[in-house]
Chain A
Amino acid sequence: MSATIQVDQLSKTYKVPERKGGFGAAVRSFFKRKYKEVKAVQEVNFTIERGEIVGFLGPNGAGKTTTLKMLSGLLHPTNGKANVLGFTPWELKQEYLRSITLVMGQRNRLSWDIPAADSFLLNQAIYRLSDDEYKKTYKELDELLELEPLMKKPVRNLSLGERMKCEIAAGLLHRPKVLFLDEPTIGLDITGQVRIREFLREYNKRTGATILLTSHYMADVTALCERIIIIHHGQLKYDGGITNLSKKIAPFKLIGVMLAESNSHDLSKYGTPVQNEEDWEKRYIQVKAEDVTRITSRLLADLPIHDITIADPPIEDVIEQAFNS
């Protein structure tokens, strides 16, 4: 039997109209439009077998979402082929749509004004599920996600985490064989993220569904996926096991410190100083993961420290370091 997902030289180029401000430019562009080509995805190849959970990693704008949209059928590729469950996704065959799902962390499919239960019933009709099928699936999802207490409240009154649970459940009522999840944990707090991850792992174990998920939280991917695909600037940079990847990406941590006399101390003897544009109050250094404890205690002993944080470096930086140098 062939693989569940087969992607062959898949490419997508967007034409973006180029236009300068002002009335004259607007008129000119009306008659003669200039386009800039943006290569969102370039000749990507991979295959995914039934039941795999594959993490799709990359910085924002790397082409993850574009690839996912092509595989679910929303976007037509400029070039290349894809085969999912024996279908070409962008033909949008009803049979195909009934066996996949796409869940996007930043978009709502549920109506805000009514309880999720009512939207679920609508999905039952749209996906032509018999009452028995529907009840059975709902019971299973309820067991895993504890949906019942959320079902009666209008969706607008749910917290972000609760809403995400309902959104995911709504996308799974028809028992899709392939799940495309785009940033399913975005905006959730740590416990919320862990919940969703545990659910996905359990769901995969029970149903044997194939899952392809994107995230820019490293933790999502390391917790769930044995296999990782990294995409950067539209190109496939890595496809393989997560253990191999850690060898390739030297595991770093970021230590951020807030100092009494901020600029007078030289931090470069502790680790590589890095800029963090989101946080100007602290100064950051990058150190190897195994040295974190040692360097932290040295910092605390040597310097007048007000505050100290230890975090994973942003995935953008990690990939930049691993594949661009």
Chain B
Amino acid sequence: MRIFKLLSAFFKVNVQMSLAYRADTVVNILLNLMWLGWELLSLNIIFNNTDTLGGWGLGELIALLGVFRLVNTMMIAFIWPNTEKFNQSIRDGSMDYTILQPVSSMFLVTFSRITVWRFWDLILATVLIVVGVNMSAETTTAPQILTFILLAITGMIIIYSLWIILIALTFWFVKFDNNVTILQALMDSGRYPATVYPAWLRIIVTFIIPIAVATTIPLQALRGELSAIQIAVFFAVSVISFFVASRVWKAGLRQYSGASS
């Protein structure tokens, strides 16, 4: 209950902030639509030249684009702006205030900045997923949809955990403001099924910077390609990675306060 109160308070503050830059918000939405147009055009170009990409049809790729936009919304709405704020708060010392607030600092660091207008992307993403799934010939069962939702969430938790670990490293290496570039750089790989990539790239986006875990894999679940054991493994990995991330975060705070030295 309390968490919702806090979230809504953060949300309100961020709505205020984006209202201060109203015209920019409109321009950003237009640009976002332009990129959606480009993404659909590029899929159209690909499928003018082929029927399948890595074994997937056009409908599936549209659905994948939807999943990708879902993950990307998390990135753009929360992760990038909060990374910026975090790096700045380390530089100017306002991190001290964050730590002294009676709320988990990991929570504060995650939600203090929200790019509010990006939420409208959730609608776009949902439309893309629904349209895409309908276009692909196979019938989808209710359990498949449920595992899809579950795996999309676990995938996002895994990426989120990686992010926490990356920014927590700043507590040890103060001059680490490139902390999330690697995550940002590989993000674009999520637009296409990981099966088309050469083995070395597939390994990177599945195991090291697991973008594919949040994009390709949930969609495979939707298509009923994953076994129950595989689903259980992804679920377990997300729980473990969240646990590890919060441990690393706490160790980072101890480093910051000098308790570990």
Q: Which of B5, B16, B258 is the most central at the interface, judged by chain A CB atoms within 10 Å of its CB?
A: B258
A125: B residues at CB distance < 8 A: 5-6, 8-9
A104: B residues at CB distance < 8 A: 93, 96
Q: Give residues of chain B (221-261) contacting chain A, Cβ–Cβ below 8 Å.
A: 254, 257-259, 261
Knowing A12-B258, A90-B257, A127-B102, the reply to whether A107 touches B92 (Cβ < 8 A) is: yes
A115: B residues at CB distance < 8 A: 16
Knowing A74-B96, A109-B94, A125-B5, the reply to whether A15 touches B103 (Cβ < 8 A) is: no
Q: From the candidates A95, A100, A107, name the one contacting B96 in the complex (CB within 8 A).
A: A107
Task: Decide: B258 and A75 in contact? CB cutoff 8 A.
Answer: yes
Q: Cα distance A108–B92 when bound, in Å?
A: 9
- Residues of B in contact, count (CB < 8 Å): 27
Output the nearest chain B residue to A93 by Cβ-Cβ distance.
B102
A108: B residues at CB distance < 8 A: 92, 94
A94: B residues at CB distance < 8 A: 102-103
Return 19 A-B CB contacts under 8 Å, by A number: A15-B261, A73-B100, A74-B99, A75-B257, A75-B258, A92-B99, A92-B100, A102-B96, A102-B97, A104-B93, A107-B93, A108-B92, A109-B94, A109-B97, A118-B16, A122-B12, A122-B13, A124-B9, A127-B102
Q: Is A214 an interface residue (CB 8 A)?
A: no
Q: Cα distance A124–B9 when bound, in Å?
A: 9
A100: B residues at CB distance < 8 A: 100
Q: Is A67 an interface residue (CB 8 A)?
A: no
A128: B residues at CB distance < 8 A: 2, 102
B21: A residues at CB distance < 8 A: 113
Q: From the candidates B9, B17, B94, B257, name the one contacting A114 in the complex (CB within 8 A).
A: B17
Dominant secondary structure at the A interface: mixed
- Residues of A in contact, count (CB < 8 Å): 38
Q: Is B20 an interface residue (CB 8 A)?
A: yes
Task: Decide: A98 and B102 in contact? CB cutoff 8 A.
Answer: yes
Knowing A97-B101, A107-B97, A125-B9, the reply to whether A90 touches B20 (Cβ < 8 A) is: no
Q: Give residues of chain A (32-91) contacting chain B, Cβ–Cβ below 8 Å.
A: 69, 72-76, 78, 90
Q: Is A161 an interface residue (CB 8 A)?
A: no
Task: Decide: B13 and A111 in contact? CB cutoff 8 A.
Answer: yes
Task: Decide: B101 and A76 in contact? CB cutoff 8 A.
Answer: no
Q: Is A119 an interface residue (CB 8 A)?
A: yes
Distance in angstroms from B203 CB to nearest chain A CB is 28
Q: From the candidates B5, B6, B103, B254, name the one contacting A76 in the complex (CB within 8 A).
A: B254
Q: Cα distance A127–B6 when bound, in Å?
A: 10
Q: Is A295 an interface residue (CB 8 A)?
A: no
Output the nearest chain B residue to A109 by Cβ-Cβ distance.
B97
Q: From the candidates A97, A107, A113, A127, name the one contacting B17 in the complex (CB within 8 A).
A: A113
Q: From the candidates A97, A124, A154, name the one contacting B20 in the complex (CB within 8 A).
A: A154
Task: Decide: A114 and B102 in contact? CB cutoff 8 A.
Answer: no
A14: B residues at CB distance < 8 A: 258
B2: A residues at CB distance < 8 A: 128
Q: Give residues of chain B (77-108) contacting chain A, Cβ–Cβ below 8 Å.
A: 92-94, 96-97, 99-103
Knowing A107-B94, A118-B16, the reply to whether A74 touches B100 (Cβ < 8 A) is: yes
Knowing A113-B20, A114-B16, A127-B102, the reply to whether A69 touches B96 (Cβ < 8 A) is: yes
Task: Decide: A111 and B17 in contact? CB cutoff 8 A.
Answer: yes
Distance in angstroms from A176 CB to nearest chain B CB is 11
Output the nearest chain B residue to A90 by Cβ-Cβ distance.
B257
Q: Is A126 an interface residue (CB 8 A)?
A: yes
Knowing A107-B92, A126-B6, the reply to whether A102 touches B258 (Cβ < 8 A) is: no
Question: Residue-by-residue, is B133-173 near A (CB-CB < 8 Å gives 1, otherwise 0)?
Answer: 00000000000000000000000000000000000000000
Q: Cα distance A139–B69 when bound, in Å?
A: 46
Q: From the candidates A76, A98, A101, A111, name the one contacting B258 in the complex (CB within 8 A).
A: A76
Q: Is B56 an interface residue (CB 8 A)?
A: no
Question: Residue-by-residue, is B6-33 near A (CB-CB < 8 Å gives 1, otherwise 0)?
Answer: 1011101100110011000000000000
Q: Cα distance A98–B105 when bound, in Å?
A: 14
Distance in angstroms from B202 CB to nearest chain A CB is 33
Output the nearest chain A residue to B97 by Cβ-Cβ distance.
A109
